[in-house]
Amino acid sequence: MCNPAISVKLYRIHALRELARWGAAMAEKPTSGELFVNGDFATGDFTGWTVVNDEYMSVVPNEGRRVAVLKPVPYGARIYLSQLVVRDRSDGDYVVGFWVRTSDANGDSVPGVTRRTAVQMWVHPRDNLGDGLWRSMSGAATSSWAKYTWQFSIKGRRNQDFEIVFQNERRRPDGLSTLPAGRDGYHTILGPNEGAAPAALDDDDNCSFAVRDVTLFRA
């Protein structure tokens, strides 16, 4: 005959195990799908994003969607828009992408202008298993929307952070090229961006550009 006390004890142990499993499942972050928050700026603001000085950037409605408009900032001002995704398990295949074009304050295109964009994608190493990754996704914004993408894979790594940074920086006053800086411990990924090829610049260094539909997708 079954001992009631033993039955109650076993039931409690089972219940505690199920509760622990449920808690672990609730705490687990999604391992696939879209990783950026509010990449389409659908909230009408910069929820999910880091904004360094919102005097130079805004979210505006345009053509049935929301876009982020970045005004030109002084060279070296370090005023940018970014988003950081923390991953405890980073192995997998990824695609990062976004759309850009020239813009006025309302998000409308500016004809006849080709504006340089400054966009960087970082994979920050936190697992002490090797270098991180850095890829320039800078290109040219024109009056038509252009999409830039990068497909990459992470293998044999654990916790790493993914960060995208947008900046509309004016040219150096001395006209020289900007030297790479701050990338020790990162492997630079070379090669053309998957998207529209950068074109020759044709602007007065005073044009805004718009960004929309920023995505980081893990397959």
Residue 51 lies in a domain: yes
pLDDT tens-digit series, residues 83-137: 999 988 899 999 999 999 999 999 999 999 999 999 999 999 988 888 999 999 9
Per-residue confidence (pLDDT) for residue 171, from 0 to 100: 86
CA 35 to each of CA 83, 116, 164, 201: distance values in angstroms, whole numbers, following the listed order: 10, 27, 12, 33
- Rounded to whole angstroms, the Cα distance separating 217 from 34 reads 5
Render pLDDT for 132-186 as a digit per residue (tens, 0 to 9): 999 999 999 999 999 999 999 999 888 899 999 999 999 888 776 665 566 889 9
16-48 exposure pattern, b = at least 16 Cβ within 10 A, e = fewer: eeeeeeeeeeeeeeeeeeebbebbebeeeebee
Determine contact, residues 216/164, Cβ cutoff 8 Å. Answer: yes
Whether 56 maps to a domain, the answer reads: yes
What band does 4 get if pLDDT is binned at 50, 70 and 90?
very low
How distant, in Å, are the alpha carbons of 50, 83, 126, 141, 211 from that of 46?
Answer: 7, 10, 26, 21, 12
Q: So what's the pLDDT on residue 25?
A: 34
Is 21 contained in some domain? no
Number of domains in the chain: 1
Cβ within 8 Å of residue 95, ≥6 positions away = 149, 150, 151, 215, 216, 217, 219
CATH of the domain at 106: 2.60.120.260
Q: Is the pLDDT of residue 11 over 70?
A: no
Q: How far apart (Å, rounded) are the C-alpha atoms in residues 79 and 54?
A: 9
Q: What is the predicted pLDDT for the residue at 108?
A: 98
Q: Is residue 124 part of a domain?
A: yes
Which residue range is the domain that position 191 belongs to?
Answer: 33-218
Q: Report the pLDDT value the prediction gives residue 197, as an integer from 0 to 100.
A: 56
The token pair at 28 is 């687990």
pLDDT tens track for 20-64: 333 433 333 556 799 999 999 999 999 999 999 999 999 999 999
Confirm whether 75 is domain-assigned.
Answer: yes
Taking a C-beta distance cutoff of 8 angstroms, is the pair 162, 95 a contact? no
In a domain, 190, yes or no: yes
Strongest mean pLDDT among 73-77, 126-130, 198-202: 73-77
| Res. 15: pLDDT tops 80 | no
Domain membership flag for residue 27: no
pTM, two decimal places: 0.81
* In-domain check, residue 8: no
pLDDT at 200 over 80: no
Which residue in the block uniquely carries the two structure tokens 């920086």? 169
